[in-house]
């Protein structure tokens, strides 16, 4: 059953403007927050059990409390560089309810005592960028941003920064590098951004959905948020669903919602003539689940982890029986090869190697032991780099090979596709 | 001071030290490309993987600070496998043109392949092609295919030389090292990037294709290019000296040296050297006669010196010294002049007065002599005070009959050499001691070949007063002398006059 | 009388141009190849190299092979001085000619280890490269020698040219 | 002291022994005169012994399709050479895909021991041991073979090409 906490008023016309937002109870959380002590807000968020919605699922309140206790300037960055293939929830939220995000940002900035924050928005998101920019101007005019917000004595400035179109900048340290004006490359940890981030000052990077959820939590209290979901995965999660289903789109459901129900109720089931074959639950970098595994699963962090995959950013990709897995993997590898920043050797060279291998398997130009090589290369890329991009490229390979090996071998043996006979991967040559 | 164990050996290092440095203190080798002691940590090559107990993943040793009770393994199967694969990733797009690569023989890819690799390659796909033999500047050539993008050179230009010429452009395996447009790599420290390049991507134009490195022998000495006294390694073989590279000495030069200093070997090679005694013989009408044995020449010098002394012409004998010789040589020469010749006319020849005290902020100094401090100390010790100005005054007012000149070894460091030689021309008989040919100098009595700094032992005192020793590493001109040998020979042929 | 002696000299030198009495001083593998050239397969008697004489005083062709150390160098010099003049010298193989590869390997020469080049002891007329050279090379060295003693086309060449036409 | 017992009777006579020996010689002579094809003596220099393809004779430097040297001046041959008879001077080529080439390649043929290690060491099949037997020449002739002699001597008819060409290797991505 869809449970709209964040997306409650999204269908109201004019909700993306300040007036529309205020009409449905907007900026009450800010007013409430400005009366609280910053430490209390952090405690509240911690108590709500809110976990980062960008992919890693790390506790937000915990992240905030890592900030060193000093008077250094600190920064809040909103990670709106939504590049994960299969994910489009942040765009939806920024287009339809920019003020929700902005309000969440001001509250969070107040909580971590930051005077300056940025929304780092993906370069390709031009429309959301315009909307968010307009919303910020409205907020400035209404006195929600700027000097002495609502008479509380709290000053805050918010800027939007457009990226230049790199997937890797979705990683927080790379985002910081890019924001600093450098090449968008992840930085070594330690030091962590909470200690030394943007301009070498303590920095918190949060996802759009996380910040929007902060608004809801401050409005309704941590206890109300905890009512949804499970003990460890609290609240609701926004999913962007794609694939050959009847109703693709953005849905918000409680965490720990059974996937079978999700597929049948919210997504309206598979399209006529298509059969559910596999599921990528959290954007392209998550390992794939077969239909049997997926139909037994529930959509929460723990259950996904127990199945060896991740909830990630909530980019649910539903793969039907007409899709060739070799082709799909080739497309993914092309993406990661293109997007590797080139800093660490295993990822820089490995992603290229993986793409070449998958494409030669797709074309039927390789030997059977290339499947073993593919697996070996992917396994040795895992966990060897600064950021998680090499893992993101390697995990799908390993899971595709372990679950759909027959399709790969068929491609090599028969020099054609098992499901289609003539798939896209073959057509490349 | 945290205590940790690396491969079962306990070690105690300062807090904040990285594991790779701690391992270095134990002489445990950890493979690495991007990490360099003199630069910041990049953590890009992923070769220095070590296993740290209680840590699920392998960690890079260069960016992991030591912690109390840490247990590190650098050599178990898991680590070996990770290093092997990291090396494989480095090599899959490597052009394998070792036959034409200057780095072959001292290439870290080759070394680590022998240590950690030794697999048969599984890469059967097309390699990425990039441009080759690109000129980056006046001294450096880049081969982008060989580059492993360790970013050492980029960090060098940003952190050490602070000239910011180099950058890594593009992404993924299309990454390319290059210079920014209109900013060639022409700073005075550019060849350090060649030294720190672990592979053959950056090569020196000067050394390029001259020799294969395995034909070269190395020996350690000091740079005599300026008063900093950088520690260097000189590579040579029977055909001469081929290159000079810096050697680590934190007190003096750190890890680096300037490009100017790389050229010091040039004036030591045979073609530039004074290789035999030249005598201007009055009997043949003042023509230059070459090839007299050195011992004979010195005997004649000694005899005529002692004759002049006996005639009571003490005032007409002068000694001019440049600061390009060792302390021991000065002592021998001054000893001869003070106690045997008993001449007080000892003058210090200072070069390029205008930029003598200049300093580029890193290493290179305007004082192009290795031993200025040593010379002035020794002169004070013997009570000599004369400078070139004094000599000039004396030489113009009354002519010296006999002038012994310990001339410069590196004549290019003496831009006003010709002018000064004109003043020397006014003196009666000039005994010119030098290691280099000087065809413009006509009015000499003798030219005696001297040893270059590669061929003699002694001490140089740098501008800070740090005493450093040089050793005789090779013999280029066998007949050449050091000042000690010269002084001894003259002393003996003067009959040991006291 | 002078005419007669001059004629005699002329006749002798003409004979000597195509008739060699070899004295072989060879060790090692080169001597096998020299023996091979003298036997039926290659048969250097066809080219005018006579039987090996028993006394160096009767020979006018010195064939050197194998590596030469100080002791052998003295012997070679001793033999060369006794030989009938004019004496031709053929040095066969890399050892005798240049001392290689032993010269390259020996850093500090001892009395027995020192390698001496043939040309440092006696004037060498013909060099035969190889290690060891094949009998063909040795035979061609004899042809070269004859060419040196009598420049211009040899009888053999004239004959074969005529036969071809 | 060993005492040889002389054979009795017929053998004491002088002539029969001589004649028997002469018979053998004459038999061979007549045989050789009538069967010239089967005569074991090789009439060098008109006749030549056919050597195997593996014969290690004078060196050949192979050339590329355009006639330039294949040698990249890597000096591995010079490094391996036990006789130290190879000396190479490398230089920078105008074409960056060739990069390095020898401006002089000299073999001191008198030092060479024809061991073939240079051929084995060569990574690009640039030097081979040819089929010609080793040289004999008068003292004073040039025994240091340069590129002209090694690669383009008249016997080679414009140079020997290697089967695998560099450009093919490059186009295959190797």
Write out the two tokens for A354: 């993986």
Which of B126, B96, B100, B119 shows the shortest CA–CA distance to B109?
Answer: B96
CATH 3.40.50.740 fits B271-493, yes or no: yes
The chain A residue lying nearest B82, using CA atoms, is: A380
Mutate to test the interface with D, among B99, B105, B203, B205 (most CBs of D within 10 A): B99
Identify whether residues A167 and A301 lie together within a single domain: no
Query: Which residues in A lie closer than 8 A to residue B58 (C-beta atoms)?
Result: 383-384
Q: How far apart are the first and last CA of chain C?
A: 44
Give the distance, in angstroms, between the CA of residue B318 and the centroid of all CA atoms in the same chain.
Answer: 33
- Which of D79, D92, D173 is opposite residue B212, by nearest beta carbon? D79
Identify whether residues A52 and A125 lie together within a single domain: yes
Is the Cβ of B171 closer than 8 Å to some Cβ of chain A?
yes
Omega cis (within 30) before A224: no
Assign D174 a pLDDT band (cuts: 50, 70, 90). very low
Q: Residue B237: is it exposed, middle or buried by C-beta count within 10 angstroms (0-12/13-18/19+)?
A: middle
Q: Residue A142: is it exposed, middle or buried by C-beta count within 10 angstroms (0-12/13-18/19+)?
A: middle
Is the Cβ of B123 closer than 8 Å to some Cβ of chain D?
no
Give the CA-trace dihedral at A158, A163, A167, A172, to 10 degrees.
-30
Cβ contacts of D26 within 8 Å, gap of 6 or more: none
- A314 falls within a domain: yes
Give the integer Cα–Cα distance in Å for C139 and C155: 16
Is the Cβ of C121 closer than 8 Å to some Cβ of chain D?
no
Q: Among 3.50.50.60, 3.10.20.740, 3.40.1280.10, 3.40.50.2000, what is the CATH number of B3-91?
A: 3.10.20.740
Contact B213, B107 (CB under 8 A): no
Q: Nearest-CA distance from B355 to chain A in Å?
A: 39
Cβ contacts of B130 within 8 Å, gap of 6 or more: B144, B145, B147, B176
- A11 falls within a domain: no
Identify whether residues A352 and A373 lie together within a single domain: yes
Rounded to 5, what percent of chain A is helix, strand, coil? 45, 15, 40
| Total domains, chain A | 3
Give the 3-state secondary structure of residue A50: coil
Identify whether residues A207 and A240 lie together within a single domain: no
Range of the domain at A38: 18-226
Q: Nearest-CA distance from B125 to chain D in Å?
A: 8
* Among A226, A256, A282, residue at a domain's last position: A226
Give the integer Cα–Cα distance in Å for D52 and D72: 29
- Which of B100, B125, B129 is opposite residue D99, by nearest beta carbon? B100
Chain D residues contacting B via beta carbons under 8 Å? 72-76, 79, 90-92, 96-97, 99-100, 123-124, 173-174
Is the Cβ of A183 closer than 8 Å to some Cβ of chain B?
yes
CATH code for the domain of A91: 3.40.50.11540
Identify whether residues A104 and A182 lie together within a single domain: yes
Contact B244, B234 (CB under 8 A): yes
Q: Residue C11: is it exposed, middle or buried by C-beta count within 10 angstroms (0-12/13-18/19+)?
A: exposed
pLDDT along chain A (429 residues), means of 10: 83 90 91 91 92 88 91 92 91 93 94 94 93 94 92 92 91 94 90 91 94 93 91 91 93 92 91 93 92 92 91 92 92 94 93 93 87 93 92 94 92 86 66
Give the integer Cα–Cα distance in Å for D52 and C122: 36
- Which of C40, C101, C119 is opposite residue D83, by nearest beta carbon? C101
Buried b (16+ CB within 10 A) or exposed e, B285-320: eeeeeeebebeebbbbbbebbbebbeeebeebbbbb
* Among A296, A320, A344, residue at a domain's last position: A320
Tell me: pLDDT of C111 over 60: no
* Interface contact flag, A351 B86, Cβ < 8 Å: no
Give the global pTM. 0.89
Cβ contacts of B393 within 8 Å, gap of 6 or more: none
Neighbours of B399 (CB within 10 A): 12
Which sign does the torsion angle of CA A410, A416, A422, A427 carry?
positive
Give the integer Cα–Cα distance in Å for B47 and B81: 11
- Which of A188, A349, A385 is opposite residue B92, by nearest beta carbon? A349
Give the integer Cα–Cα distance in Å for C20 and C48: 6
The string of pLDDT tens digits covering residues B184-200 is 999 999 999 999 999 99
Give the 3-state secondary structure of residue A237: strand
From residue B367, alpha-carbon distances to B244, B321, B373, B413 in Å are: 20, 15, 10, 9
Q: Residue B114: is it exposed, middle or buried by C-beta count within 10 angstroms (0-12/13-18/19+)?
A: exposed
Cβ-Cβ contacts under 8 Å between A and B: the total is: 93
* Interface contact flag, C129 D82, Cβ < 8 Å: no
Q: What is the DSSP string of A65-133?
A: HTS-SS-S--EEEEEE---STT--HHHHHHHH-HHHHHHHHHHHHHHTT-SEEEEEE-TT-HHHHHHHH
Identify whether residues A331 and A371 lie together within a single domain: yes
Mutate to test the interface with D, among C104, C130, C144 (most CBs of D within 10 A): C130
Contact D110, D97 (CB under 8 A): no
ipTM reported for the complex, 2 dp: 0.87
Which sign does the torsion angle of CA B443, B448, B453, B458 carry?
negative
- A3 falls within a domain: no
- Which of B97, B99, B129 is opposite residue D76, by nearest beta carbon? B99
Contact C76, C124 (CB under 8 A): no
Query: Which residues in B lie closer than 8 A to residue A188 (C-beta atoms)?
Result: 41-43, 63
- CATH 3.10.20.740 domain extents, chain B: 3-91
Q: Domain B125-212: which CATH class?
A: alpha beta
Q: How far apart are the first and last CA of chain B?
A: 62
Which sign does the torsion angle of CA D47, D53, D56, D61 carry?
positive
- Which of B44, B57, B170 is opposite residue A343, by nearest beta carbon? B44
Contact A38, A64 (CB under 8 A): no
Q: What's the alpha-carbon Rg for chain C, to the nearest Å?
A: 17
Cβ contacts of B114 within 8 Å, gap of 6 or more: none
Mutate to test the interface with A, among B173, B177, B199 (most CBs of A within 10 A): B173
Q: Residue B221: is it exposed, middle or buried by C-beta count within 10 angstroms (0-12/13-18/19+)?
A: buried
Q: Mind listing the pLDDT tens digit of every residue in chain B (498 residues)? A: 899 999 999 999 999 899 999 999 999 999 999 999 999 999 999 999 999 999 899 999 999 999 999 999 999 999 999 999 999 999 999 988 888 899 999 999 999 999 998 888 888 888 898 998 899 999 999 999 999 999 999 999 999 999 999 999 999 999 999 999 889 999 999 999 999 999 999 999 999 999 999 999 999 999 988 899 999 999 998 888 999 999 999 999 999 999 999 988 888 888 888 888 988 877 777 778 888 888 899 988 888 888 888 776 667 788 889 999 999 999 999 988 888 888 888 888 887 777 888 898 899 988 888 999 999 999 999 888 888 888 888 877 766 788 888 888 888 888 888 888 888 877 778 888 988 888 777 778 888 999 999 999 999 999 999 999 999 888 888 889 899 999 999 888 887 654
Give the CA-trace dihedral at A196, A197, A202, A205, to 10 degrees.
-140
Identify whether residues A285 and A404 lie together within a single domain: no
CATH code for the domain of A337: 1.20.1440.230
Identify whether residues A118 and A253 lie together within a single domain: no
Identify whether residues A206 and A311 lie together within a single domain: no
Give the domains, in start order, of chain C with CATH numbers: 20-164 (3.40.50.12280)
Buried b (16+ CB within 10 A) or exposed e, D48-81: eeeeeeeebbbbbbbbbeeeebbbbbbbbbbbeb
Q: Nearest-CA distance from D145 to chain C in Å?
A: 12
Cβ contacts of A52 within 8 Å, gap of 6 or more: A58, A59, A60, A63, A206, A207, A210
The chain C residue lying nearest D135, using CA atoms, is: C129
């Amino acid at each position: 059953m869809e449970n709209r906490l964040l997306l409650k008023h999204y269908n109201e016309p004019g909700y993306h403007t300040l007036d529309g937002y205020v009409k449905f109870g907007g900026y009450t959380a800010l007013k409430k927050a400005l009366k609280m002590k910053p430490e209390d807000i952090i405690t509240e968020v911690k108590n709500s059990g809110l976990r980062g919605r960008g992919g890693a699922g790390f506790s937000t309140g915990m992240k905030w409390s890592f900030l060193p206790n000093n008077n250094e300037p600190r920064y809040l960055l909103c990670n709106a560089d939504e590049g994960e293939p299969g994910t489009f929830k942040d765009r939806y939220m920024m287009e339809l309810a920019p003020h929700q995000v902005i309000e969440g940002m001001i509250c969070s900035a107040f909580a971590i005592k930051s005077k300056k924050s940025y929304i780092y928005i993906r370069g390709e998101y031009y429309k959301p960028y315009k909307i968010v920019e307009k919303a910020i101007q409205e907020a400035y005019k209404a006195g929600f941003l700027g000097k002495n917000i609502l008479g509380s004595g709290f000053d805050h400035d918010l800027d939007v920064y457009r990226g230049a179109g790199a997937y890797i900048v979705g990683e927080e340290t790379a985002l910081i590098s890019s924001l600093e004006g450098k090449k968008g490359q992840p930085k070594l940890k330690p030091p962590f951004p909470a200690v030394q981030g943007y301009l070498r000052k303590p920095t918190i990077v949060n996802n759009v959905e996380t910040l929007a959820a902060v608004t809801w939590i401050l409005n309704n209290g941590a206890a109300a948020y905890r009512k949804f979901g499970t003990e460890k995965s609290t609240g609701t999660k926004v999913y962007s669903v794609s694939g050959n289903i009847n109703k693709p789109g953005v849905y918000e459901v409680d965490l720990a919602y059974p996937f079978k129900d999700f597929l049948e109720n919210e997504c309206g089931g598979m399209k006529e003539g298509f059969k559910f074959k596999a599921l990528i639950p959290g954007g392209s970098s998550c390992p794939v689940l077969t239909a049997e595994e997926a139909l037994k699963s529930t959509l929460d962090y723990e259950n996904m982890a127990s199945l060896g995959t991740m909830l990630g950013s909530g980019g649910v990709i539903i793969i039907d029986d007409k899709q060739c897995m070799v082709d799909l993997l080739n497309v993914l590898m092309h993406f990661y090869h293109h997007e590797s920043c080139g800093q660490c050797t295993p990822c820089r060279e490995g992603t290229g190697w993986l793409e070449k291998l998958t494409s030669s398997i797709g074309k039927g130009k390789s030997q059977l032991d290339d499947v073993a090589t593919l697996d070996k290369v992917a396994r040795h890329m895992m966990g060897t780099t600064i950021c998680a991009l090499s893992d993101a490229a390697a995990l799908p390979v390993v899971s595709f090979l372990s679950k759909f090996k027959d399709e790969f071998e068929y491609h090599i043996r028969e020099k054609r596709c098992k499901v289609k006979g003539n798939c896209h991967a073959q057509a490349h040559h | 001071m945290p205590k940790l164990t690396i491969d079962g050996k306990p070690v105690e290092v300062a807090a904040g030290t990285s594991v790779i440095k701690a391992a270095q203190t134990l002489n445990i080798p950890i493979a690495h490309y991007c990490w360099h002691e003199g630069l910041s940590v990049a953590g890009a090559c992923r070769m220095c993987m070590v296993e740290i107990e209680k840590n699920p993943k392998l960690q890079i040793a260069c960016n992991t600070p030591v912690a109390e009770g840490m247990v590190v393994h650098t050599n178990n199967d898991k680590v070996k496998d990770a290093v092997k694969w990291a090396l494989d990733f480095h090599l899959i797009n490597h052009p394998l043109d070792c036959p034409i690569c200057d780095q072959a023989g001292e290439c870290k890819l080759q070394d680590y392949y022998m240590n950690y690799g030794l697999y048969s390659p599984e890469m059967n796909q097309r390699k990425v092609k990039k441009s080759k033999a690109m000129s980056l500047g006046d001294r450096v050539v880049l081969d982008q295919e060989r580059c492993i993008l360790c970013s050492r050179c980029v960090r060098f230009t940003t952190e050490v030389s602070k000239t910011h010429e180099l950058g890594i452009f593009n992404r993924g395996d299309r990454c390319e090292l290059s210079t920014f447009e209109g900013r060639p790599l022409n700073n005075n420290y550019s060849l350090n990037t060649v030294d720190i390049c672990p592979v053959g991507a950056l090569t020196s134009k000067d050394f390029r294709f001259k020799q294969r490195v395995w034909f070269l022998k190395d020996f350690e000495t000091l740079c005599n290019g300026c008063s900093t006294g950088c520690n260097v390694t000189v590579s040579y073989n029977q055909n001469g000296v081929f290159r000079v590279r810096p050697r680590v000495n934190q007190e003096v030069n750190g890890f680096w040296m300037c490009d100017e200093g790389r050229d010091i070997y040039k004036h030591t090679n045979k073609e530039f050297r004074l290789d035999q005694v030249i005598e201007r013989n009055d009997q043949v009408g003042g023509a230059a006669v070459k090839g007299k044995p050195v011992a004979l020449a010195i005997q004649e010098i000694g005899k005529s010196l002692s004759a002049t002394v006996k005639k009571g012409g003490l005032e007409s004998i002068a000694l001019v010294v440049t600061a390009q010789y060792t302390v021991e040589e000065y002592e021998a020469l001054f000893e001869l002049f003070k106690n045997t010749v008993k001449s007080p006319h000892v003058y210090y020849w200072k070069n390029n007065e205008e930029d003598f005290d200049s300093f580029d902020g890193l290493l290179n100094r305007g004082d192009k002599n290795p031993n200025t401090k040593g010379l002035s100390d020794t002169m004070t010790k013997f009570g000599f005070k004369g400078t070139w100005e004094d000599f000039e005054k004396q030489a113009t007012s009354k002519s010296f009959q006999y002038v012994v000149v310990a001339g410069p070894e590196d004549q290019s460091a003496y831009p006003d050499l010709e002018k000064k030689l004109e003043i020397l021309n006014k003196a009666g008989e000039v005994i010119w001691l030098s290691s280099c040919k000087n065809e413009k100098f006509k009015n000499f009595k003798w030219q005696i070949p001297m040893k270059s700094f590669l061929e003699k032992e002694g001490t140089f005192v740098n501008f800070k007063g740090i005493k450093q020793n040089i050793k005789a590493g090779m013999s280029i001109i066998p007949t050449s002398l050091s000042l000690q040998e010269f002084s001894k020979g003259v002393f003996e042929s003067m009959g040991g006059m006291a | 009388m002078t005419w007669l002696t001059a004629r005699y000299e002329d006749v002798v030198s003409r004979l000597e141009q195509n008739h060699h009495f070899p004295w072989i001083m060879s060790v090692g593998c080169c001597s096998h190849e020299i023996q091979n050239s003298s036997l039926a397969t290659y048969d250097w008697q066809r080219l005018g190299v006579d039987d090996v004489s028993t006394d160096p005083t009767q020979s006018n062709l010195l064939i050197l092979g194998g590596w030469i150390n100080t002791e052998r160098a003295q012997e070679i010099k001793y033999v060369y001085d006794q030989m009938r003049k004019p004496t031709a010298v053929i040095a066969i193989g890399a050892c005798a000619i240049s001392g290689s590869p032993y010269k390259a390997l020996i850093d500090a020469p001892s009395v027995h280890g020192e390698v001496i080049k043939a040309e440092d002891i006696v004037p060498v007329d013909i060099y035969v490269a190889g290690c060891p050279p094949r009998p063909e090379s040795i035979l061609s060295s004899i042809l070269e020698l004859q060419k040196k003693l009598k420049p211009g086309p040899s009888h053999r060449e004239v004959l074969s040219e005529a036969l071809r036409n | 002291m060993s005492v040889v017992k002389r054979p009795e009777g017929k053998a004491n006579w002088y002539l029969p022994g001589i004649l028997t020996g002469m018979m053998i010689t004459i038999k061979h002579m007549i045989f050789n005169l009538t069967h010239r094809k089967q005569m074991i003596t090789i009439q060098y220099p008109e006749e030549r012994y056919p050597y195997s393809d593996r014969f290690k004779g004078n060196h050949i430097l192979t050339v590329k399709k355009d006639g330039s040297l294949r040698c990249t001046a890597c000096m591995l041959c010079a490094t391996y050479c036990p006789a130290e008879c190879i000396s190479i001077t490398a230089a920078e080529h105008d074409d960056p895909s060739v990069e390095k080439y020898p401006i002089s390649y000299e073999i001191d043929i008198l030092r060479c021991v024809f061991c073939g290690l240079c051929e084995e060491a060569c990574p690009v099949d640039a030097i081979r041991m040819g089929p010609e037997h080793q040289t004999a020449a008068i003292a004073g002739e040039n025994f240091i073979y340069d590129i002209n002699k090694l690669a383009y001597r008249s016997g080679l008819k414009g140079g020997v090409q290697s089967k695998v060409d560099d450009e093919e290797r490059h186009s295959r991505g190797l």
